[in-house]
Amino acid sequence: MNILVTGGAGYIGSHTCIALVKAGHSVIIADNLSNSKSKTVMKIMDIVEEGVNFHKIDVTEEVAVEMIFRNYNIDGVIHFAGLKAAGESVEKPIEYYYNNLVSTMVLTKVCQKYGVNRFVFSSSATVYGDNNVPFVENMELLPTTNPYGETKAMSERILTDIANANPLFSVALLRYFNPVGAHESGLIGESPNGIPNNLMPYVTQVAKGKLETLRVFGNDYPTVDGTGVRDYIHVLDLAEGHVAALVNLTKGVHVYNLGTGKGTSVLELVNAFELANGVGIPYEIVERRHGDIASCYADATKAKRELGWVAKRDLITMCRDAWRFEKNYKE
Ligand code: NAD
Ligand code: UD1
């Protein structure tokens, strides 16, 4: 299939392009490079050893999006493009609502016009709010604490309404847990701008000596050791989950958790990183971070049952691959 991958130069999108090409699909990347670099596209090509189509466009711009649909025979869309920093979204709500919602509306509008009925959307476990773990797809969604989370819940709703109105439309809403790690080549991975918000990139930068000490946000949660528990998933497993969702997609709306189903605390992740890489991670316990929940992990059985997909790579592999990329990474 010819798959339009919006945000394909980004962290999860770039790994998914590799998984798509490996599975025999052709990829057309549309990315405005607002949070990525064009050299990532070159690295994707190095890894897959073939050409990949790339268009530097903003997917909120209908004319530019339509140009792509006119030039290629698109069979399906995977929509990654979006702004993703929960904390920043509180400061910049208009940018988040505009970018994340208008992109979804423009893409679906053009899809309808060109009869493209296969759509895969990047949602997030954040839509579960503070439900009891493990999170199951049919749980009632709880309000999230920031505009970013709201854009994911709203986009899910928009896509569901479109599928209800058009019986030919098929959409997968993929709720990601915490993607970490990198391609085993060490060529592509996660390279956030500035000081990372997320745990794994912070840990790798402490390991490299770019940052001094990891601050562990709270050790008084009702968890195994008091620190926050999350479902870390290797980004390549997540990428393969997209291929499985795309290939198995049938008419209507299908929601899948993409996680391992296993919770890991902050201190367990730090220990695993030290064990995997033989590098010490100095840390201090500080106050809880505003907006954090104690535990977040998936019930991952639906994706296994319906898509035949399970996350295969363990925490040690995630830590090893994340560190290999950080060691290689040059600004
Ligand atoms: P990323 O920032 O690395 O990738 C997103 C890409 O989209 C970037 O390359 C950026 O330049 C591009 N982009 C943004 N707005 C655009 C626009 N209007 N037009 C064209 N390109 C645009 O982020 P990621 O971690 O790869 O996340 C991909 C998707 O998955 C996002 O929608 C994000 O919200 C969602 N998600 C990510 C996580 C995570 O932990 N990384 C968790 C849950 C959901
Ligand atoms: C964060 C976002 C969420 C987003 C997800 C994936 C917030 C409040 N939530 O979730 O919307 O979908 O990233 O991108 O920003 N931790 C530390 N020290 C650090 C960093 C993190 O102790 O320097 C802890 C956190 O308290 C948490 C765990 O590590 O318990 C994971 O944090 P993080 O990687 O930021 O992911 P989430 O909190 O799950």
Domain limits of the chain? 2-181+232-259
Q: What would the pLDDT profile of 92-145 be if each residue is shown by its tens digit?
A: 999 999 999 999 999 999 999 999 999 999 999 999 999 999 999 999 999 788
Report the alpha-carbon distance of residue 118 to residue 134 in Å, rounded: 29
For tokens 């439900």, what's the residue? 131
Q: Give pLDDT, residue 225.
A: 98
Atom 6 of ligand 1, residue of closest alpha carbon = 7
Q: Report the C-alpha gap between 253 and 243 in whole angstroms.
A: 17
Does the beta carbon of 215 sit less than 6 angstroms from any atom of ligand 2?
A: yes
Report the distance separating Cα 83 and Cα 75, nearest Å. Answer: 25
Where b means 16+ CB within 10 Å and e means fewer, 149-176 reads bbbbbbbbebbeebbeeeeebbbbbbbb
Instruction: Tell me how far apart the alpha carbons of residues 32 and 223 are, in angstroms, rounded to a whole number.
Output: 40
Q: How many CB atoms are closer than 10 A to CB 212? A: 10
Active site residues: 148
Output the pLDDT for position 137.
98
**Distance between CA atoms of 102 and 80, rounded to whole angstroms?**
13
d(CA 228, CA 315): 16
Q: Given this model, what pLDDT does residue 194 score?
A: 86
What distance in Å separates the CA atoms of residue 161 and residue 147, rounded to the nearest whole number?
A: 21
Ligand 2: atom nearest CA of 290 is 8
Nearest-atom index, ligand 1, CA of 13: 26
204 close to ligand 2 (CB < 6 Angstrom): no
CA of 207 to the centre of ligand 1 (A): 25
Hey, whose CA ends up nearest to atom 9 of ligand 2? 86
Residue 83 near residue 97 (C-beta atoms within 8 A): no
Q: How far is the CA of 199 from the centre of ligand 2 (A)?
A: 6
Over the chain, what is the mean pLDDT?
Answer: 97
- Note the CATH number of domain 2-181+232-259: 3.40.50.720
* Ligand 2 atom nearest to 217, measured from its CA: 22
Report how far apart the first and last C-alpha atoms of the chain are (Å, whole number): 34
SS (H, E, C) the chain: CEEEEECCCCHHHHHHHHHHHHCCCEEEEECCCCCCCHHHHHHHHHHHCCCCEEECCCCCCHHHHHHHHHHCCCCEEEECCCCCCHHHHHHCHHHHHHHHHHHHHHHHHHHHHCCCCEEEEEEEHHHHCCCCCCECCCCCCCCCCCHHHHHHHHHHHHHHHHHHHCCCCEEEEEEECEEECCCCCCCCCCCCCCCCCCHHHHHHHHHHCCCCCEEEECCCCCCCCCCCEECEEEHHHHHHHHHHHHHCCCCEEEEEEECCCCCEEHHHHHHHHHHHHCCCCCEEEECCCCCCCCEECECCHHHHHHHCCCCCCCHHHHHHHHHHHHHHCCC
CA of 302 to the centre of ligand 1 (A): 24
Q: How far is the CA of 245 from the centre of ligand 1 (A)?
A: 18
| Atom in ligand 1 nearest the alpha carbon of residue 9 | 9
Residue nearest to atom 35 of ligand 2 (CA): 198
How do the pLDDT tens digits run along the chain, 331 residues long?
Answer: 999 999 999 999 999 999 999 999 999 999 999 999 999 999 999 999 999 999 999 999 999 999 999 999 999 999 999 999 999 999 999 999 999 999 999 999 999 999 999 999 999 999 999 999 999 999 999 978 899 999 999 999 999 999 999 999 999 999 999 999 999 999 999 988 889 999 999 999 999 999 999 999 999 999 999 999 999 999 999 999 999 999 999 999 999 999 999 999 999 999 999 999 999 999 999 999 999 999 999 999 999 999 999 999 999 999 999 999 999 886 7
Residue of the nearest CA to atom 15 in ligand 1? Answer: 82
Which residue reads 């990601």 in tokens? 176
pLDDT recorded at residue 144? 82
With a 6 Å cutoff on the Cβ, whether 216 touches ligand 2 is yes
**pLDDT number for residue 191:** 85
Q: What separation in Å is there between the alpha carbon of 243 and the centre of ligand 2?
A: 26
Give the ligand at the shortest distance from the Cα of 239. Answer: 1
Query: What distance in Å separates the CA atoms of residue 141 and residue 101, rounded to the nearest whole number?
Result: 18
